[in-house]
Structure 1
Amino acid sequence: MKSVSLALIATTLMTIVHGFENDCNDNLAVYWGQNSYGAANSKDPANWQQPIREYCQDSTIDIIPMAFVTQFFGTGGLPEINLANICNKVDNSTFPGTSLADCSAIASDIKFCQSKGKAVTLSLGGATGGAGFQSDDQASTFADNVWNLFMGGSSSTRPFGDAVLDGIDLDIEGGGSNYYGTFLTKLRAHFGSASKKYYVTAAPQCVYPDANLGATISQNSIDAIYVQFYNNPCGLQTWGTSGWNYGVWDYWAKNISPNKNIKVYIGAPASPTAAGGGYVPLSTLSNIALTTRKSFPSFGGVMFWDASQAVANGHIDAGIKQALSNGGSCGKVFDYPPCSAPAYQSGGNYPGGSKVSKDGYIWQAMWYASGPPDDSFQTWIPVSACSGSGSASSTIIASSSTKSAAPSSSTSQGSSSTTSTTPTSTTTGNASCGSVTVWSSTAIYKAGDQVAYNGKIFKAAWWTLGETPGGSSGVWSAVGTCTAKSKVSPTTSVSSKRAVTSSCKDASQWRSGVRYGKGAKVIHGGHTYSSSLENANKEPSVSSDTWHLDAVCNLTVVKRENKIGYYRACKRNWSAEETYYEQSLVARDGKLYQAKVRSLGQAPEYHDAIWSPVSTCT
């Protein structure tokens, strides 16, 4: 009998399923709930989103954020959830006096996934609006609701029955950032009273800092962030160039985030139809992920949007998980590569592409740099964490001059080797175009930047990467012919103290500290604004007296940069019975409107003081 008992114990131990471990660097997070493939492929229902249980049959996925809670305060003061073809307030019953769908039929599926070692969390927000708080009391109330309705609390209106979710995910793409600290503090207090482990994650855009989540994640303890490297100018398509900014997020994780052990995931589209830009094939993504893991200690894994797209795309989720598992670890101390670039020298001038070592990172100059690398990331970008003070500087003497010149260095990300980057006192150009820098296909150029190409000097009209001067895109215009004495002509449209842009294409990200003249155009929170008055440090918003939404530019600049978010919002028609909050997006008669203030029953086309048109829906 004794031997039988030992055998039973051994068998029991072998069948134990380990739960989700946040300190690993080979995790895969996959969003589920929005049937992204079905939205893009309406005539292929066989590959539409399946019940969540179907994605938990093996060890591929580690954590599943269920998307989304679309309204924080719907009818009856309770939230609304939309899980597309699985559960929603239209196709399913709702709790009396509310618009909260009863999705208790999937409770067993959630518990099945958890029994397989998956963490299942609830994603709040999405691109359609309805997120945000108007006061501390409102934020605190919502924390109580989330705890009681979805997690370890108790309520008679539990959408997922007796299933207890493993935490929340913040996918906040509108509604402002106010009072999220209050919400998270109250929610963490609930978590602290339970024996179960709960997680808080967030999904910022890769553009740093994120317009809607920047303050929240920098002031509150977050366990992991799923950085969206798609639908953005810093997306996966910029890998290998100075536009790729994963290093910025690692620096943030180790120097700014309150949780220094936070994990940073590479967020990727799971197929070409999952996003408007940023998709790369499995082989490329695997290379990016493994190289990044070797270069940065905060790396936690990969995030996919979404499960339906991943399966339809040949189970790309299984492919990336296999790549991550090769050499992955949990809780292991990071092995820092050496700081192989020369130490930064104060007072030096560095050409674009130069690499230096400073503060535990190898930094690369995005363009000509005269100041030190810092957390503004305006001139330098971290390309690898490192250990040491930097290699000894070396100097190469140019054959045509007695002055020392720094050779161009490799732009490959995460490489621990680098060529010399000794600073020089002058900027050198090609011999035939004086001091004007030769155009590079891997460099990022801003509006007003000038380059030499094929014997001519070209000027950029807006932000550009990889677009050849003289090409059909229209971003470059010829402003002169190259000579040995050519130099960059001063720009006349923007002074050093006051930013004025009259063209939609010249609109740039709003930044505090910059003085904007009347009529200046900026992008903030995914929308284009025009200044009504000269101002500085006045953050644009739909309720601002200083800035107003520029409907014309939103049709061009913003729709180009955020077309997926607008596409989703256009699927959400205005309802007279629904409460809308500041920055909510709704569709009405072929137009997309954004709310300036809270409203109920006030149609967008008749209330200009409440709604602003921001785009059209086609």
Structure 2
Amino acid sequence: MSTNASLSLSYWGQNSYGATHTDTANFQKNLSYYCQDETIDAIPLAFLNVFFSTGNLPSLDLSNICNVVDDAVFSGTNLPDCSFMAADIQACQAAGKIVTLSLGGATGGAGFSSADEATSFGDTIWNLFLGGSNDTRPFGDAVLDGIDLDIEGGSTQYFDSFVNRIRSLASSASKQYYVTGAPQCPYPDAYMSTVLNAVAFDAVYVQFYNNYCGLPNFNDSNSWDFSSWDDWAKNTAVNKDVKIYIGAPASSTAANSGYVDASTLANIALETRSQYSSFGGVMLWDASQAYVNGRFDEAVKNAIRESDSIISSSAFATSASKVSGTTRVASAKFTTAATVDSCADIPAWVANVAYNSAQNVIHNGHLFTAKTLTAGSTPGSASSDWTDNGVCASYNAPIPTQTSAAQSALSPARSPTR
């Protein structure tokens, strides 16, 4: 897993705005609406809220988009048929977004009675939503990119058996699958610490809201505990490269407490990034709240971009820095050149990889340098976060690899009370 941090991960599915407002015009839109947004890089679909129901199959609640009350269910089950969403999911993935399924939620019926039951449930999720096959696939032929655990109640046992089964099934797959989690900020999390310490996670989206350790207490060392999560990532986590995200409400109505404005959140993210190498990015709850609140996700990204530009121009305007054998020069240093003599060993750009400010990539035969921390912004596009340094006379780019879901996203917060 790369150490680059991503900017935007946004939960979708619970219509958090609709839970606190009555103006239906601003209720949660279809998934594809948000995938037109370059700021959002990964989207967990929330939630699979019932693990075992009629027919021994789970149930989904995607609020005003797809649920067991308003939509058809598969015969003999309480599993809604959301296959109309397949095109939306595939469009998001085609745009470079990572789309995963979040299990649990604040009101989810989560838990297992044995390791065998948890393992069997892994088979069920694989066949219904991931790389397997079943006659009752809720999202039709769309194949999601992994799972997210948001366990806030029920049993805490045997989740390791569930995740290990997903990992085992994914090990021989032709695509990358991701495992993430969303614990609450008090460390250790009461419900998720058991599984977090037992199996490898790609990213953890810590909910720094609705608790004493929320974002408004960032300057209180007795309350703000990102350092505890950083210590967990480096010394306890199975995957020592796991990334820790700052989970934040996307609006004052998205959570009971913990909201801070976009500028404050950006400053917290920047300071945390400078202190802790485990920092992965920002998670927001949720997309519906972010869009109505002045495009909160975009405001946070722009604030980070502005700060990075100031740092970039002052720190790198006159010199280049050598990082991992690759020269990285700030955007302020470069002007567009006709030809670059050599681009040897510069990696090719990959849509779902997050890049640090001043990092170099190759795209369409050109050498580009990131102007700021960026993920999902195509080099050379009109809204590009990249400086075009010219055509490479020669290059031998390494084969690019995908990052984890953790690295490609900011996420909006969950239900208003989550």
Coarse TM-score class (shorter-chain normalised): 0.7 to 0.9
**2:411 aligned partner:** none
Write the deviation string for residues 535-556 of structure 1: whole angstroms up to 9, x where unpaired.
Answer: xxxxxxxxxxxxxxxxxxxxxx
**1:274 aligned partner:** 254
Give how far 1:24 is off.
Answer: 2.6
Measure the CA separation in 2 of the matches of 1:65 and 1:190: 20
Give how far 1:325 is off.
Answer: 4.8
2:156 partner amino acid: S
Residues 267 and 304, structure 2, Cα contact 8 Å, conserved in 1: no
Name the SS of the counterpart of 1:154 in structure 2: coil
Measure the CA separation in 1 of the matches of 2:82 and 2:264: 38
Write the deviation string for residues 555-614 of structure 1: whole angstroms up to 9, x where unpaired.
Answer: xxxxxxxxx98968xxxxxxxxxxxxxxxxxxxxxxxxxxxxxxxxxxxxxxxxxxxxxx
Is 1:154 the counterpart of 2:122 in the alignment? no
**2:271 aligned partner:** 291
Distance 1:324 1:165, change over 3 A: farther
Name the SS of the counterpart of 1:273 in structure 2: coil
**2:355 aligned partner:** none
Is 1:248 the counterpart of 2:228 in the alignment? yes
Of 275, 281, 295, 1:301 maps to: 281
Name the SS of the counterpart of 1:204 in structure 2: coil
Name the SS of the counterpart of 1:160 in structure 2: coil
Measure the CA separation in 1 of the matches of 2:52 and 2:74: 14
Write the deviation string for residues 381-423 of structure 1: whole angstroms up to 9, x where unpaired.
Answer: xxxxxxxxxxxxxxxxxxxxxxxxxxxxxxxxxxxxxxxxxxx
Give how far 1:96 is off.
Answer: 0.5
Measure the CA separation in 1 of the matches of 2:4 and 2:98: 14
Of 166, 169, 181, 2:160 maps to: 181
Measure the CA separation in 2 of the matches of 1:22 and 1:125: 28
Q: Which runs of 5+ in 2 are unaligned?
A: 313-322, 325-413
Of 137, 154, 171, 1:192 maps to: 171
Measure the CA separation in 2 of the matches of 1:196 and 1:37: 34
Write the deviation string for residues 277-317 of structure 1: whole angstroms up to 9, x where unpaired.
Answer: 00000111010000100110011100000000000100011
Residues 22 and 263, structure 1, Cα contact 8 Å, conserved in 2: no
Is 1:316 the counterpart of 2:296 in the alignment? yes
Higher relative contact order (CA 8 A, sep 6+): 2
**2:38 aligned partner:** 59
1:384-533 residue pairs with structure 2 within 5 A? none
**2:186 aligned partner:** 207
Give how far 1:322 is off.
Answer: 2.8
Residues 254 and 416, structure 2, Cα contact 8 Å, conserved in 1: no
Please identify which structure carries the higher helix content. 2
CA RMSD, Structure 1 to Structure 2 (Å)? 1.9
Of 203, 216, 220, 2:199 maps to: 220
Aligned length: 315
1:292 partner amino acid: T
Structure whose alpha-carbon radius of gyration is higher: 1
- Give the TM-score normalised by the residue count of structure 1: 0.50
1:73 partner amino acid: F
Distance 1:207 1:116, change over 3 A: same
Identity over the aligned pairs, expressed in percent? 57
**2:142 aligned partner:** 163
**2:336 aligned partner:** none
Give how far 1:174 is off.
Answer: 0.8
- Give the TM-score normalised by the residue count of structure 2: 0.73
Residues 32 and 306, structure 1, Cα contact 8 Å, conserved in 2: yes
Residues 100 and 144, structure 2, Cα contact 8 Å, conserved in 1: yes
Measure the CA separation in 1 of the matches of 2:304 and 2:240: 22
Give how far 1:137 is off.
Answer: 1.5
**1:127 aligned partner:** 106
Give how far 1:226 is off.
Answer: 0.3
Residues 149 and 158, structure 1, Cα contact 8 Å, conserved in 2: yes
**1:74 aligned partner:** 53
Q: Which runs of 5+ in 1 are unaligned?
A: 1-20, 334-563, 569-618
Of 217, 225, 237, 1:257 maps to: 237
Measure the CA separation in 2 of the matches of 1:113 and 1:22: 22
Is 1:28 the counterpart of 2:14 in the alignment? no
Give how far 1:27 is off.
Answer: 2.9
Measure the CA separation in 1 of the matches of 2:234 and 2:12: 30
Residues 301 and 324, structure 1, Cα contact 8 Å, conserved in 2: no
